[in-house]
Amino acid sequence: MLQAMFGKNSPLSRLRQRQRVSVRDESKADPRFGGLTLDEERLLRQILSEPMDYIDSDEFRHPKAEKRIYHDAEEIARPDVSWYRPLMDDPQPDRQAKNTGTVLLTAAQERVLFLKYNYARHRVSQLQLEIGPAEPSEEMARELLHWYSNASRYREQIAETNLALVLAMAKRTRMSEVDFADLVSEGNMALLRSVDKFDCGRGFKFSTYACRAILKAFSRQGMKLSKYRQRFPTDFDPALEKSNHLETLRRTHELEAAAEVKYIVLSNDAELTNVEQTVIHHRFGLGEDAGGDPMTLEQVGQIIGVTKERVRQIQNKALEKIRLTLELYANRQDEEEAQEEEGKASSPAA
């Protein structure tokens, strides 16, 4: 009676599905499965509690749809996203471009991924309708978990392939009052929603669709922040709302690098001539003879009796010597660390 009054996807039906604690143990079930684990049962209840949405395609109605989409199509390699998380805390901006793990997909490759993703969701939706409010057999439960796992895997792959898109949009957005980490977080959520809603059958690139969604998410984040400031004008402090962690790391890196350069100049490890030392000391206020105040090119030229253009040439030559010395120190440090790691690896375990 109740089943006739309410549909399979009604709130009451979903509640009953969520409360199921096990699957039916039929005598005809495949003995290889050996029963579901507790985690698998929990995941199964979660899958059955909400209907699965997907983007439909004519490919799904082909008699050999699974073979054409999964077996005949090329396998797209997953990108290396190890560069993504350290990027937020990297004190050296030049290294942010070295995301060599990024994979640029063609339109055909994107279509393959989205067809696989949506076909897996299509199969989950079919199984949900087939099971309905009843308890699934173990074989159907295994199949449902299999297709749900495929859908999750391809969703992650598409999102990971386009992570650089979120960073690019975040850097282009001029919203200084919004913390950069919050901006990237909103962009990642918009990226996942775009993966779920994108229709590859229309012939457009995914980045065209996702960029607009990401920028809209940034705009909504800015509007929410503006409303919060209007609501709590006395409690809002931009200096406290925005993290200075990245600026602190960069400042620390700059101070350490400056101290190392100063040591090289004062100890003359770069083997500067007397004239080059005089120019560097007075130009950057180093050493006791310089007095601590930097001088202009013209002022230094009056001290050593040359033109300011000649002072610039001497300065550039001295800076090049200092740069080469810094690189030599860095290479030596890398070699020492490598030898230390090799020594630890070769030493017997305690």
27, pLDDT greater than 50: no
Structural domain tally of the chain?
3
Q: Which residue, 240, 273, 292, sits at the end of a domain?
A: 240
- Higher pLDDT: 194 or 94? It is 194
CATH code, domain with 323: 1.10.10.10
Q: Is residue 94, in this structure, part of any structural domain at all?
A: yes
Asked if residue 236 and residue 139 are part of one domain, the reply reads no
Single residue among 108, 139, 157 that ends a domain in this structure: 157
Is pLDDT of 282 > 90?
no
User: What mean pLDDT is predicted for residues 298-309?
Assistant: 88
pLDDT of 158 reads 93
How far apart CA 320 and CA 216 sit, in angstroms, is 47
* Shared-domain flag, residues 150 and 189: no
Same domain, 167 and 278: no
Q: Do both 42 and 101 map to the same domain?
A: yes
Residue 344 located in a structural domain? no
pLDDT band with cut points at 50, 70 and 90 for residue 269? confident
> Has residue 95 been placed in a domain?
yes
Split at pLDDT 50, 70, 90, the class of 29 is very low
pLDDT of residue 114: 93
Q: Pick 27 or 331 by higher pLDDT.
A: 331
Is the residue at 182 inside a domain?
Answer: yes
Tell me, yes or no, whether 192 lies in a domain: yes
Average pLDDT in the chain: 79
Q: Does 73 score more than 70 pLDDT?
A: yes
Using a cut of 0.75, tell me whether the model's pTM lies above it.
no
Residue 83 is assigned to a structural domain of this protein: yes
21 with 117, same domain: the answer is: yes
pLDDT at position 16: 55
In a domain, 345, yes or no: no
> At 276, is the pLDDT very low, low, confident or very high (cuts 50, 70, 90)?
confident
Domain identity same for 149 and 71: yes
Lowest mean pLDDT among 70-74, 94-98, 223-227: 94-98
**Count of Cβ atoms closer than 10 Å to residue 199 Cβ:** 13
Residue 91: what pLDDT? 42
Span 213-235, average pLDDT = 81
- Supply the pLDDT for residue 237: 62
The per-residue pLDDT for 146 is 93
Residue with the two structure tokens 């100063």: 262
Residue 75 has pLDDT above 60, yes or no: yes
Instruction: Kindly tell me if the per-residue pLDDT of 117 is higher than 90.
Output: yes
In a shared domain, residues 260 and 232:
no
Give the pLDDT score at 213: 92
Across 24-53, average pLDDT:
72
Residues 19, 96 share a domain = yes
Banded pLDDT at 268 (limits 50, 70, 90): confident
Q: Lowest-confidence range among 2-6, 45-49, 211-215, 276-280?
A: 2-6
User: Is 82 in the same domain as 141?
Assistant: yes
State which residues form the domain around 220.
Answer: 162-240
Higher pLDDT, 15 or 38: 38
Q: What is the 3-state secondary structure (H, E, C) of the chain?
A: CHHHHCCCCCHHHHHHHHCCCCCECCCCCCCCCCCCCHHHHHHHHHHHHCCCCCCCCHHHHCCCHHHHHHHCCCCCCCCCCCCCCHHHHCCCHHHHHCCCCCCCCCHHHHHHHHHHHHHHHHHHHHHHHHHCCCCCEHHHHHHHHHHHHHHHHHHHHHHHHCHHHHHHHHHHCCCCCCCHHHHHHHHHHHHHHHHHHCCHHHCCCHHHHHHHHHHHHHHHHHHHHHHHHHHCCCCCCHHHHCCCHHHHHHHHHHHHHHHHHHHHHHHCCCCCCHHHHHHHHHHHCCCCCCCCCCCCHHHHHHHHCCCHHHHHHHHHHHHHHHHHHHHHHHHHHHHHHHHHHHHHHHCCCC
Last residue of a domain, one of 216, 240, 264: 240
Same domain, 87 and 224: no
| Same-domain status, 123 and 191 | no
CATH number (domain holding residue 196): 1.20.120.1810
Q: Average pLDDT in the 206-221 region?
A: 90
| Residue 228 sits in the same domain as residue 255 | no
The per-residue pLDDT for 291 is 61
Q: What is the pLDDT of residues 144-175, one digit of tens each?
A: 999 999 999 999 999 999 988 888 888 888 77
- Please report whether residue 295 resides in a domain: yes
- Per-residue pLDDT at 124: 93
Give 179 or 211, the one with higher predicted confidence: 211
